[in-house]
Chain A
């Protein structure tokens, strides 16, 4: 039920209302609202109960196992939140002089240094305010690099077909043509196809390693060599950085530019399209093009580097210095777990994934790449279940909700039919992983015996199966005052 539907004319929470209406005499007549806004008129208790009820209907990592993993967002430790909310951080005005924000600048500088160390890159900018913007910044730097050398023939970006959809989109936004490189049946990039595709037109390649099919590309050195020999640059999509954190560094693999999704790897919040952060790291030759502002440390203290210090910068991507609240949470997370903790993140993330993969295989589920060890995530294909029982991946996903498990990523990557991309992350216990295997096994049994029970799922949630076809064909995104509003004035 929408809160608007509880609205009754004149009902208010008097205790919360201001005693006097504020004067608005300085707002020009033509800019003033003529009709009252269509806000719900409810009592305080109605508002409290409405939003509390909604929060109880949330299926969240605080209440349920959430095998979307870092692909969406890891668990956010509470300490990061409370420390980032210290009044000194919250109350700082973005236009305050550097001398009044040395503490914040010190945190940001340290975060730059930590990200440099853990990725093996030469320099880092925290400016991009989301992963996709980080990608855009990364590709824009590749473009700036080639242009500065007068190399205008490089018009193509190579993207493996297993890539995230944002990769080709970012390349196109920067004016490049995208050439797709196929993936071999073992999950690695098809090296022969790559070698045939590189040339003087190659600006670079965008790679995710481990890739979206959940395996570490064993040919990364040969890939780097082929692209570099042709004069192209290597772009690292940091989406799966969690798998190798503190163990292997993109800079050592030969990457020239990387973006990091802090919500994926460094436990920052990322909900409802809220603020994000997508810092970029670069090798030495790309450093002049980093987006500004950057934080520098000199004898006199910490200071911002801006356009006048970095004339070749691709420029600004956001007002002020980026999403401070998010950057701070990532900084605190990094300091909480420390250097050893970073390595343990990758160890436990991959251990959990491989344990879960092995248990699911034992239970009879088919791995998409059975001969490969999983990284921090792996793919199970339910094509056999779909063929034999007529119960598809979406049915399994919906039925998992009834069992108290959030569904893993479904139908991605596109090159594996009827797939579930499963990522437990490092924070899950063995008991939780075993529970998930038991639920999957039970659902497969139901698919065999009582398929309608699976196809009709979920049965136990406040909302049943949504008609996503109708929702996509008949978009209905905003509440508008309707008949009920008229009836109540």
Chain B
């Protein structure tokens, strides 16, 4: 089974969310997602200050197999996109939960975070898919 840190929240569309404790969260894609996509060759991160709705397509990840939308797990305002991914898109493959983060946002309602999946529930979804 792929690596699923217990302190993160997850979505059924394979994003992870980390509560940074300062009113912002960080978003990326899971180890399972990067493995399924294969080698990432291009990432388009959202602009700072953009307001996104929950489940809105907010970034694009392109691998040798496919281009995939990344959905914002929560509604809020984008604080920062990971600019380093422009030169090192493969960070999503090698370090999906650390260097490979995609964007940070300030959620409109931090309480919505609790409504996302925990590691066990996400693991079950992945198991059902395969």
Contact = CB atoms under 8 A, between A and B. Distances in A.
Given A469-B41, A472-B41, A414 B66 contact: yes
A411 B64 CA distance: 10
A383 interface: yes
Given A473-B41, A473-B89, A468 B64 contact: yes
B65 A411 contact: yes
B41 A417 contact: no
A473 B40 CA distance: 9
Contacts of A165: 67
Contacts of A417: 36, 129-130
B39 interface: yes
A387 interface: yes
A411 B37 CA distance: 10
A154 to B, nearest CB: 21
A473 B42 CA distance: 8
Interface residues of A, number: 12
Contacts of A410: 65
Given A383-B130, A387-B130, A417-B130, A411 B66 contact: yes
Interface string A160-186: 000001000000000000000000000
Contacts of B129: 417
Interface residues of B, number: 13
Contacts of B89: 473
Nearest to B40: A469
A414 B90 CA distance: 21
B57 to A, nearest CB: 9
A469 B64 contact: yes
A469 B130 contact: no
B69 to A, nearest CB: 9
Contacts of A387: 130
Nearest to B36: A417
A20 B41 CA distance: 51
A414 B38 CA distance: 13
Interface in B57-94: 64-68, 89-90
Interface string B96-130: 00000000000000000000000000000000011
Interface of B: 36, 39, 41-42, 64-68, 89-90, 129-130
Given A472-B41, A472-B64, 11 more contacts: A383-B130, A410-B65, A411-B66, A412-B66, A414-B66, A417-B130, A468-B64, A469-B39, A469-B41, A469-B64, A473-B41
9 contacts: A165-B67, A410-B65, A411-B66, A414-B68, A417-B36, A468-B64, A469-B39, A469-B41, A473-B90
